[in-house]
Amino acid sequence: MIILIVLENIFLALNRGSFLDPDLGWRLRLGQYMVQSGHLPTNFVGYNYYHNLVFVDHQWLSNLLIYLAYEKWGYYSLFALCIIIFSLTSIILYKICLKKSTFLAANLAVILFLTTVSQTYYGFRLQYIIYLATAIIMYVNEFVTDYIKRFIIYLILFILGSNLHGGGFLILVPVVVLLESTKLFDKETIKAKLKHIGESALLAISLLLAMSVNPYGFNFWKTMWDYIVDPYYKANIAEWHSIMTLPINWIYLTVFAILFFLLTVEKNWKRIERGKLLLFIAVMYFAYSSKRTMPLFVLLVVPEVCLLLKDGLKKISKKISIIAIAVALAVAAFILIANSNGKEITLPIKDPFDISFGSPKMAMEFLKKNIKINGNLYNYYGWGGYITWEYPEQDIFIDGRAPQAFLTDRRATILREYQEIEANINSKVLEEYNIDYILVRKVSPYQCTIFDKKVLLAKCNSSKRYVNGISENYINMQDKNVLDKIFEDPFSVIFKVN
């Protein structure tokens, strides 16, 4: 079974590993900085405008390890690490589901989880660590009966997690506490319930303190607070948007929920722990609104779904089960292929930065050979990571490392500042930010895939905000001789500020 699960992961990981994650570049740059300087980054290394801002890298240990692996073994090592993380997660999920249900249900749960993640992210993402941590939490909650042992395991996991991906592990604190609080709903004495409340409170406080065991101390909590209090970040970063598109909406979800209830929960509701229902409802809300938490929801829920389906599936023979698993894998393959644009997909290669499609490679080579920038280069947000790693001699305006960070002189984030510049760029703005050159990404209106058209029946409309892929603001400034177009290729344009 372990071999089958690993093969499932390799098959589905091809989609995850086929794209260059736009964050990979700056992660490698920060890892390189730590190795070469011997210090943790405390400011925005490689930025030309926001370089003096305080920077808290709540993923510093991951960035260091990613750089060391990439430097020694290349991108294949990160691709292999991706498969290892998901194989371990899948094996743990399989064992939990198998305890609750059947061979068929356990395998389908793994395929469902892997397909969900494959639809959500590109490339090697640090968020994958969160899913492995969640699987470990679920396993400990299910199989480790002694509270003290669970407490110690959780503590060690979250101390490590605060340095690997502090923000992500912070989200998992309530997951642990809610899983541990399920006994409050059992028929026990008041004294026993008070004991469970005390244990849950102690665990919550201890895990929050464990999250403080990192080199940045209080600044870590300030950074996390900035994430929480500013909704602008979540509203404008694609991975925080809903994974669902029209015509899937609340009406369809409600109909599906009623059918599912009538077929399963209505007959078996006593088999679900009451405390877990609260956790599932909370995570379901965030899963509907965010791509990032959709896989987390699937991971937490599928063991209970397997439990509900146990009676119906246990009568199915092993032969039919294997056929059903094969069909599920085929469906997953169709979804992955149909939901991609095709032309962007390449097999994982040793150096994904060599992929020229959609990157500013030719534009940056032009700048490197022909231009000496005295002021600042204003770059497209999604290209910052690529530039800072491939062209470290060129400082950038922005990338994805901490767009939610607040500026010191006013209560605005880097991302809000960037988007306000983009929306209102003019001569005054160019002068204020000392911008000499502008690197613009050509935007292609989204085209429906086979999956969009045939399965979701979605209608895709071209954006009217762009003329030949370039925002009208830049065209207007070019017409007014504020900007001169000095370079253009199929993916990018470079403007010089007059």
pLDDT of 195 above 60: yes
Residues 218 and 331 in one domain: yes
Structure tokens at 91: 């094996």
Same domain, 136 and 254: yes
Judged against a pLDDT cut of 80, whether residue 275 lies above it is answered with no
**371 and 307 both lie in a single domain:** no
Residue 244 has pLDDT above 70, yes or no: no
Spatial distance between the Cα atoms of 425 and 419, rounded to a whole number of angstroms: 10
Given 338, 368, 391, the domain boundary residue is 338
CA distance 66 to 485: 38
Q: What is the DSSP letter of 446?
A: P
Q: Are residues 413 and 306 in the same domain?
A: no
239: closest CA among 46, 494, 22? 22
Residue 84 φ then ψ, to 5°: -65, -45
Do the domain assignments include residue 351? Answer: no
**Residues linked to residue 492 through DSSP beta bridges, in sequence order:** 441
Residue 347 inside a domain? The answer is no
**Hey, CA dihedral for 350, 117, 416, 476, is it positive or negative?**
positive
Closest CA to 62 of 137, 10, 132: 132
pLDDT value at 210 more than 80: yes
Residues 293-327: tens digit of each pLDDT: 889 999 999 998 888 888 778 788 888 888 998 89
The answer to whether 406 and 62 have CB atoms below 8 angstroms apart is no
Q: Which domain holds residue 219?
A: 2-338
Residue 431 lies in a domain: yes
Chain Cα centroid distance, residue 394? 27
* CA dist., res. 51 & res. 65, Å (int): 24
Q: What is the pLDDT of residue 283?
A: 86
Q: Say if residue 457 is in the same domain as residue 409.
A: yes
Mean model confidence pLDDT for the chain = 84
324 and 444 share a domain? no
Residue 344 domain-assigned?
Answer: no
Considering the domain boundaries, does residue 136 fall inside one? yes
Average pLDDT value for residue range 111-131: 83
Report pLDDT for 293.
Answer: 86
> pLDDT band at 46, cuts 50/70/90?
very high
pTM to 2 decimals?
0.87
Sorted by sequence, the CB contacts under 8 Å of residue 218 that are 6+ apart come out as none
CB-based contacts of 417: which residues, under 8 Å, 6+ apart?
A: 407
More confident residue, 275 or 110: 110
Q: Which of 203-207, 262-266, 406-410 has the lowest mean pLDDT?
A: 262-266
Q: Are residues 375 and 248 in the same domain?
A: no
End residue of a domain, out of 338, 369, 385: 338
| E runs forming strands in 346-434 | 376-379
Identity (one letter) of the amino acid at 464? K
Domain count, the chain: 2
Cβ contact 15:341 at 8 Å = no
Asked whether the predicted pLDDT for residue 122 surpasses 80, the reply is: no
The confidence band for 457, taking pLDDT boundaries of 50, 70 and 90, is low
**Phi, then psi, of 413 in degrees rounded to 5:** -90, 165
Give the SS3 label for residue 54.
Answer: strand
| Closest among 496, 88, 393, 413 to 229, alpha carbons compared | 413
User: Does any domain span residue 443?
Assistant: yes
**Residue 34: pLDDT above 90?**
yes
Q: Can you give the pLDDT at residue 264?
A: 66
**CATH number for the domain including 468?**
3.40.50
Where residue 243 falls among pLDDT bands split at 50, 70, 90?
low
23 domain residue, yes or no: yes
Q: Does residue 381 lie in a domain region?
A: yes
The amino acid present at 409, given as its one-letter code, is: D
Residues contacting 344, CB < 8 A, separation 6+: 19, 357, 358
My answer on whether 374 and 479 are in the same domain is yes
Among 243, 302, 234, 266, residue whose Cα is nearest residue 96 = 302
Range with top average pLDDT, 217-226, 246-255, 262-271, 332-341: 217-226
* 392 and 298 within one domain: no
- Proportion of the chain above pLDDT 70, given as a percent: 84
Is 354's pLDDT higher than 80?
Answer: no
Which pLDDT score is estimated for 246?
43
Based on the fold, state whether residues 333 and 360 are members of the same structural domain: no
Q: Which of 311, 338, 365 finishes a domain? A: 338
Residues 317 and 408 in one domain: no
Does residue 401 share a domain with residue 318?
no
